[in-house]
A and B are shown apart, each in its own frame.
Chain A
Amino acid sequence: MNESKTSERATVEKAQGGDADAFAELVRAYQRRAVSVAYRLLNNIEDASDVAQDAFVKAFRSMGQLEDAEKFGSWLLRIVGNLSLNFRRARSLRSAVSLDGDFSSDNDAQDAASKFRLVAPDDDDTEQGHEMQGLVRDAIAKLPEKQALSLILFSVEGLPQKQVAEIVECSVELVKWNVFQARKKLRELLSGQL
């Protein structure tokens, strides 16, 4: 464990010195987790991939600002979380604007439908399992931002509470509270499925 930490530290320091290969190694090490977090917050794989890529590019450009090389993971996931939440807010705003619009023609209605597909389940969600997944994803989308992020990082990604606190930039106590509230709300929202 310590050995891998030391090795990662060395890789991060190389990347900070401008070594592109070292950064590529970091991308390979963290990409799945970065995309997973973004996907769980955004509920759309294309958006999640874009946001995660942007997060890596941003991280590469700001490597000099990372003071503790051992905290690269937390730092990266904070960027991913922030970009995802920004994207989620912008998307909600777009949905709200389209809701205000008057869908007078069929084309308008189709456009609106395609916009709502950003948060809707995939095409083949007709089977029961997929239907369930859709319900869960919709329920997560209803959670407040910090609760959703804390739940995803702690309960789903399995990160320690201390690291979640670093990523969400709050106290460990608040992480516990956010996770508890998120689970409670999900239990209510999914009461028929439990």
Chain B
Amino acid sequence: MSKEDKYNPNDPAFLASRALDESLTNEQRELLNDLNDEAESFRSVDDFVKSLRDEKIDIDWATFQQTIQDRITSEYDDAQLDRVDELVQGATELPDSWNEKRFTQGVLQKIESTSQVRHPKLRWMKAMMPLAAAAAIALAVTMMPWQDSTNAPTSIVSIGPSIHLGHRLPLKNAVALVSFRHEPIAADETASRSRVSFVSIGSGSMAQSQASAPPL
């Protein structure tokens, strides 16, 4: 049996069909009457809605506009709002104690102090980065020929770009801004006159050859 065929004694169509046969019980007749009343009330609502649709709405736009205008005017009440602006202006004037000159100086001092701290660092960093890299490469290349101890290089470390400002430093694995020169040591001498074969600014390990380095 399908769902549609399922017996429903309260089905309105079934009740209407039974009413034609006059074979309804009292209870079923009451139910059918209720359903009829309900259908009638829905019809009334539908008629009402239809009547609304057909009704012409007459709005007095002039009055409507005036009402809005009055409302806005009362909200904006120019005189009062102007007074608000005046009060705000008067209450927030800068006090006499505020001094323009002192303020300007304060700003410029703040800018100057922050610039002084930052710029030299940046300048040195910019100069050092490529030089350090170049020197590291140069060091590696120039150290290569003196692998045996009899031909070891003498390294002199100096601070600054010139060897004339140089100073021997007891550094090991140090990173410094240096001038660097080296000379091979002959087998029959403990120290020889300086002969600059490479000068650069860079970094490296210097201490191992310091003992045999001649004074500057």
Contacts and interface: CB of A to CB of B under 8 A. Distances in A.
B141 interface: no
A155 B75 contact: no
Interface stretch (B54-62, B97-105, B129-137, B207-215): B97-105
Nearest to A185: B84
Interface residues of B, number: 28
Given A23-B111, A27-B104, A183-B81, A39 B87 contact: no
Interface of A: 20, 23-24, 27-28, 31-32, 35-36, 39-40, 43, 45, 49, 52-54, 56-57, 60-61, 122, 132-137, 140, 151-152, 155-156, 180, 183-184, 186-187, 190, 193-194
Given A57-B114, A187-B84, A194-B80, A27 B92 contact: no
Q: Would you list the 5 A-B pairs with minimal beta carbon distance, nearest first?
A: A136-B91, A133-B91, A40-B92, A56-B107, A155-B85
A61 B106 CA distance: 16
A45 B100 CA distance: 12
B98 A190 contact: no
A96 B76 CA distance: 35
A152 B92 CA distance: 10
Contact of B98 (A24, A49, A156): A49
Contacts of A133: 90-91
Contacts of B87: 132, 136, 186, 190, 193
Nearest to B108: A24
A58 B54 CA distance: 68
B187 interface: no
A57 B84 contact: no
A184 B84 CA distance: 9
A186 B84 contact: yes
A161 to B, nearest CB: 15
Contacts of A187: 77, 80-81, 84
A62 to B, nearest CB: 12
A194 B103 contact: no
B122 interface: no
18 contacts: A27-B104, A31-B107, A32-B100, A35-B103, A45-B97, A49-B98, A49-B103, A53-B103, A53-B110, A54-B110, A57-B114, A136-B90, A140-B92, A151-B88, A156-B88, A187-B77, A187-B84, A193-B87
A27 B85 contact: no
Contacts of A132: 87, 91
B103 A52 contact: yes
Contact of A190 (B75, B84, B104): B84
B116 interface: no
B107 A53 contact: yes
Nearest to B114: A57
B206 to A, nearest CB: 40
* Residue among B97, B106, B107, B114 having the largest count of chain A Cβ atoms under 10 Å: B107
